[in-house]
Amino acid sequence: MTAKDHLAAPSPPDEDDPRSRRAADLAVALEDARDPIARRDFIARMGAAIALAGLGACTRAPRDEIIPYVVQPPEVTPGVPRFYATASTLEGYALGLLVESHEGRPTKVEGNPRHPASLGAAGAFEQASVLSLYDPTRARAVTERGSVVAWSRLEEALTEGTWTSAAGDGLHFLLEPTSSPAIAAVLADVRARLPRAVVSFHSPLMPQNQWEGALIAFGRVLEPRLALERADVVVALDADFLTTGPARLRLARAFADRRSTLDAMIRLYSVEALYTVTGAAADHRLRVRAGEVLAIAAALASAVGLPNLPAGVPAALAAPAEPHRAFIEAAARDLAAHRGRSVVIAGHAQPPEVHALAHAINAALDNLGATVTLAPSPIVAAGDMAHDTAMLASALDAGAVDTLVICGTNVTYASPADQAFTELLGRARQTAYLGLHEDETSARCTFMIPEAHALESWGDTRAFDGTTSIVQPLIDPLFGGRTALEVLSLFSGADRARGMIARKTPYDLVRAHFHDDLPPGATRDFEQRWRRALKLGIVEGTAIDPIEARVDWAGLAKRLARTAPAPPPAIELVIRPDPRVYDGRFASNAWLLELPAPVTNLTWTNAATLSTETADMLGIETGDELELRASGEIVNAPALVVPGQATDTIGLTLGWGRSRGATLAHGRGANAFALAAGTALSPISVDLHKTGRRHDLALTQRHHHLEGRDEDILHHATLEEHRRAGARHDAATTKRRLTLYDKSPRAGTHQWGMAIDLTRCTGCGACVVACQAENNVPTVGPDAVFLGRAMHWLRIDTYFVGAPEAPEIAPQPMLCQHCEMAPCEYVCPVNATVHSDDGLNEMVYNRCVGTRFCSNNCPYKVRRFNWFDFHRGEDATRELAHNPDVTVRQRGVMEKCTFCVQRLREHDIRERQGRATKPPETACQQTCPSRAIVFGDLSDAAAEVTRLRGDDRAYAVLDELATEPRVRYLARIKNPNPELP
């Protein structure tokens, strides 16, 4: 199979596109698929049904069964959920989680407040991981060339080969980057016994450039750790630090904290090609091609001044940045004015030189040790080229590989096509692949081993700062999955030495390594420490201390002198990780597939994004199919115009155009790996032309302009304007209103309300998935999204503010506003939506008859209608993901945000019984990395939400309708540099 096989199959052209026709087709198709009775036979059958209705009523539903435990675990009380601390891993870096379990069934993931990378928050990937666990399409059995075989057969086959008598020569391992101390120990064991065995690490998105950048600047591999809480000025060089990287949630929190503190507001300059979440949050955003960022970095370094750099920054390096001089100089002056309180951040996709320059600037500004500290990476063999996949590729090419064991990385799909792993894998005598799905890689391997999901595994993993977490399973492997630790331990020496294959369980392995890692003398209270580590979700005292590092100025000067940036291509292809499916690993997860991408609001596909200017120049409109040609390969992708992207760039995200192992995503979007060359993220030249075909993109929002209604919908201002206007924002809401209704709240009840701080919100989308997971919200598929029938109770509206070709993008989470004078309630003919004493706008599914009057009368358009029984015919495994505390809605019923009423009622019940309970949190609030959403009791004067409601930035959306919403927004304030226009 060549890379061409990955090409996205374009969806059929859609010549006549009346939306009504599609709606009808969709209805018939969906109904026919689910319903043995075709819609058109309905009337005929209905007649018979009415006639027989009387008889039908003579039978009763069969009795349900109650199936108790045989021996009830003492800690379990059926009906009371339990929470366990564990961790998920991405690129080898841990994120601590707390997982809710109902009678042994994990249903919801939250962040672990004790974990340094989470601080209580979780992102969209983590929120969606529950659905991946219950994915019925996961691999279910060990297979050899497609036929099911026993595990013992695999053990036998893998541990025999020419390498057994040659000290491991010919034995290769390909792993995902890992920080696991247990895996590191097993690998050390394997290496001790088989010194010639080769271990390689592969992920298309590992921070290789960052490590190399540190190697240039400091002479060793170090990772920068940012302390944004201490920074006043930040310059991001193509760095989307708010949504990517191992500390993304922590940085989002720190940034938001400094953002909403108007008296000491942080200022962010962003230089980037594609419009990212970080770019949208920036005060000043410079759009340049990704290949030009090096020049910007050099110009910035020379404007700041690097006195210790022999001969200074080469002028030739900085010369291309000349047109952006005003921006660079203003940023440099701002940085210089905040010595020791500023920071320059380089993006992972940028070449090592940019990282080195960022380090140099930070050093020159005395930021090292203040806003940036440097520490060795927790990743095993970080930056060590001996573990590069190039070694593996050449060994495969030379036919020197006898046994290749691949753990967790879908290398065939997720590597640039020019690395040709698809073809090379066949050159090993035998290959085994440990993966969640039977995917592109397993198709090329001798053995397929089903992998245990993180929520089914014992393991350990480390955070960006080295803090170790024990990964504990919430459930036994559903499909008999194994972990990388188990597979690797087949080769470890200790057990082989006794002439037998390892029979240790992963639990034993992790405990053994935990024991070995304890400081001497601490092993006496091993059991106590082990339990504490499991309970807290972190192992205390395992963080890696930052070190004092000095810039190697001479080395840097030498490297810079040698650097000659390639001339920019006419049109540059910028490939980036996808905010939904990442590098394709989440492409089987419907929640993520249907998550509207931040900034673009695109669902169920990726698209070739281009700026307004480039689109005009090439005559391209959103929806045109483009043929992209790069690195000698061709890929077709739909076009999507994104104002504010750099001109002469085409943006494409990774992870789409899957052909195997992600049933839901097959044929959706374009495979950017097919076009990539070298590393997946380096910018390359691209040719493009229109094919003449059109695509209907499943966008959740097609109109982004406020049409001058900024004051009604989204208040935004600069810090300067805000100070001048004073308490302008809440002026309208304090107007006295006449009403005939008695609105005095009932004494003794909570009065629930919410405040959303738009200065904090980045629009990352974690809340959308959290809401979906908590409230059993169905996914509807691309056709229904296209028709505007997405079911998300919480959506993120994206507005364009300012110049049409380079607008500022302002996200606004929009959910049921729980109006005190709710327009929906007046029009419901069956009283299915009513008000509760504690101020909720309630939705009663069992009363709803589906007139949709309420939705028509809702000015915020937050009500969602079930056009179909989306949950019917669901796989039994998938059903396990449902929250048992929330009704699974059926067809013909309206639904909407309930303020997570199940949590509020649970809280009420506990509180009234005097049992321990914390103030309730909604799912969106709990997961929000930047704490933009605050929920609470308005009758409590000390509550955070009450304070925010009284803030001078607070306002109600569509205030003039006098709906008196319980949700208040806080105006979006920016902090631009007065020097820049």
Residue ranges that bind other proteins, judged by CB under 8 A: 54, 57, 60, 63-72, 77-80, 834, 836-838, 840, 842, 844-847, 885-888, 898, 901-902, 904-905, 909, 912-913, 915
**CA-CA distance, 92 to 218, in Å (whole number)?**
23
For other proteins, the closer of residues 706 and 834 by Cβ is 834
DSSP letter for 454, please: G
Q: How near is the Cβ of 743 to other proteins at its closest, in Å?
A: 16
List b or e across 583-621, with b for residues whose CB sees 16 or more CB atoms inside 10 angstroms.
bbbbbbbbbbbbbbbbbbbbbbbbbbbbbbbbbeebebe
Given the DSSP bridges, would you call strands 687-694 and 624-630 parallel, antiparallel or unpaired?
A: antiparallel
896, 901, 830: which is closest to 865 by C-alpha?
896
Nearer to other proteins, 57 or 386 (CB): 57
> Least distance in Å: CB of 60 to other proteins?
7
Q: Which is nearer to other proteins, 60 or 918 (CB)?
A: 60
Rounded Cα gap, residues 407 and 203, in angstroms? 11
Scanning the structure block, which residue is given the tokens 């006549």? 16
C-beta of 353 vs 885, nearer to other proteins: 885
Owner of token pair 């008296």: 263
Give the contacts of 862 (CB within 8 A, at least 6 positions apart): 793, 795, 814, 815, 816, 817, 896, 897
Closest to other proteins by CB, 232 vs 885, is 885
Minimum CB separation of residue 692 from other proteins in Å reads 51
CA 579 to chain centre: 5
Looking at the DSSP bridge assignments, the partners of residue 605 are: none
Judged by CB, which is closer to other proteins: 457, or 776?
776
Contact of 870 with 780, CB cutoff 8 Å: yes
**Angle 799-802-803 from CA coordinates, rounded to 5°:** 120
State residue 341 phi and psi, 5-degree precision: -130, 30
Output b/e per residue, 174-186; b: 16+ Cβ within 10 A: bbbbbbbbbbbbb
Say how far apart CA 623 and CA 277 lie, in whole Å.
Answer: 23
Could you tell me which residues come within 8 angstroms of residue 858 by beta carbon, excluding any fewer than 6 positions away?
Answer: 823, 824
Smaller CB distance to other proteins: residue 67 or 500?
Answer: 67
CA-to-CA dists, residue 354 to 335, 416, 642, angstroms? 17, 22, 26
CB of 165 to other proteins, least distance (A): 46
**Residue 356 CB, nearest approach to other proteins (Å):** 55
Comparison of 64 and 263: residue with beta carbon closer to other proteins: 64
Helix (H) or strand (E) holding 613: helix 612-618
- For residue 70, the minimal CB distance to other proteins (Å) is 5
Q: Which lies closer to other proteins via its Cβ, residue 167 or residue 909?
A: 909
What distance in Å separates the CA atoms of residue 972 and residue 810, rounded to the nearest whole number? 8
Report the 10 Å Cβ neighbour count for 84. Answer: 17
Judged by beta carbon, residue 747 or residue 941, the one nearer other proteins is 747
Smallest separation (angstroms) from other proteins to the CB of 910 = 8
Q: Show Cβ contacts of residue 377 under 8 Å, excluding neighbours closer than 6 positions.
A: 211, 221, 222, 223, 383
The rounded distance, in Å, linking the Cα atoms of 181 and 197 is: 19
Bridge partners, residue 462, by sequence: 93, 468
At closest approach, how far in Å is the CB of 914 from other proteins?
A: 9
Phi and psi, residue 572, nearest 5°? -105, 135
Asked if residues 765 and 895 have their Cβ atoms less than 8 Å apart, the reply is no
Nearer to other proteins (CB atom), residue 96 or residue 839: 839
Residue that the structure tokens 């390689």 belong to: 200
DSSP secondary structure string for all residues of 689-739: EEEEEE----BS----B-TT-HHHH--EEEHHHHHHH-SGGGTGGGS----
Residue nearer to other proteins on the CB measure, 82 or 230: 82
Of 733 and 836, which CB lies nearer to other proteins in the complex structure?
Answer: 836
Q: Give least dist CB 887 to other proteins, A.
A: 5
Select 77 or 152, whichever has its Cβ closest to other proteins: 77
| Rounded least distance, CB 925 to other proteins, Å | 18
| Contact by Cβ (8 Å): 568, 556 | no
CA-CA distance, 253 to 929, in Å (whole number)?
A: 6
Q: Taking the complex as a whole, how short is the minimal distance between the CB of residue 590 and other proteins, in angstroms?
A: 23
Residue 263: partners with Cβ closer than 8 Å, 6 or more residues away? none
Which residue, 333 or 905, is less far from other proteins as judged by CB?
905
Nearer to other proteins, 165 or 913 (CB): 913
How far apart, in whole angstroms, are the C-alpha atoms of residue 359 and residue 352? 11
CB of 63 to other proteins, least distance (A): 4
User: How many Å apart are CA 180 and CA 513, to the nearest integer?
Assistant: 10
CB of 68 to other proteins, least distance (A): 4
Nearer to other proteins, 69 or 526 (CB): 69
> To the nearest whole angstrom, how small is the minimum distance from the Cβ of residue 130 to other proteins?
20
Q: Work out how close the CB of 883 gets to other proteins at its nearest, in angstroms, rounded to a whole number.
A: 10
Helix boundaries (H) for 338-447: 352-364, 389-397, 421-424
Q: Least distance to other proteins from the beta carbon of 147, Å?
A: 32
Least gap, CB of 69 to other proteins (angstroms): 4
Q: Of 79 and 981, which CB lies nearer to other proteins in the complex structure?
A: 79
Is the distance from CB of 790 to CB of 765 less than 8 angstroms?
Answer: no
